[in-house]
Amino acid sequence: MKAVIDTNVLLVANGQHDQVSEDCVIDCVMRLQSIQRSGVVVIDDGYRIVGEYRHKTSLKPAKGVGDKFLKWMLQHSGTPKVEQVSLNETEDNCFTEFPDPALEQLFDTSDRKFAAVAYAHPDKPTIWQAADCKWLDWWPALRAKGVEVDFLCPEDVCTVYGKKFPDKPAPQLPG
């Protein structure tokens, strides 16, 4: 299993997201522990993803599972457990490797790197998403370009979406 892991998975595993269920926290913890045992994490060679992880988690001391995951990932950089792809930034948070230039303009700037990394990797690893509900609007266009999004907490992300966008119909989950 290879994955590009959105920062919110680490935050949920740390218990730093107050809008998700305990089941969601447990699912994120289990997924992070599983990829550490038998998977591969994919990041960018400019450490943009790692920089975001570091900004939003705590390494000293590493208390939560998300914090410990980041520490593990840093210890395993340069090994087959952590693969890197090159990204070419054309302007701030805009990447040649983004799968769909029209969609890129709709994306949160801080989320673009995850889609670009998944698309740039020859295996097109799945993007793990926990509770960032905007990805519910983006996954169909990403799938059309060969990039899958795995919503680890489907019920929670739909609930968060409904609260954030009460006037919009609930989007469909990948199936």
Q: pLDDT tens digits, residue range 106-150? A: 999 999 999 999 999 999 999 999 999 999 999 999 999 999 999
Helix (H) or strand (E) segment spanning residue 5: strand 2-5
Q: Return the domain boundaries, the chain.
A: 2-164
Whole-number Å distance between alpha carbons of 15 and 96: 34
Task: State mean pLDDT over 86-106.
Answer: 94
How does residue 16 score in pLDDT terms, banded at 50, 70 and 90? confident
Task: Give the tokens for residue 62.
Answer: 């590493």
78-82, 87-91, 145-149, 171-175: least confident range: 171-175
Contact 163, 19 (CB under 8 A): yes
**pLDDT (tens digit per residue) in 17-63:** 888 999 999 999 999 999 999 999 999 999 999 999 999 988 787 68
* CA distances for 31 relative to 13, 36, 68, 92, 130, angstroms: 9, 9, 13, 31, 11
Relative orientation angle of helices 112-120 and 48-56, to the nearest 10 degrees? 140
- List, as one string, the DSSP characters of 79-104: STTEEEE---EEETTEETT-S-HHHH
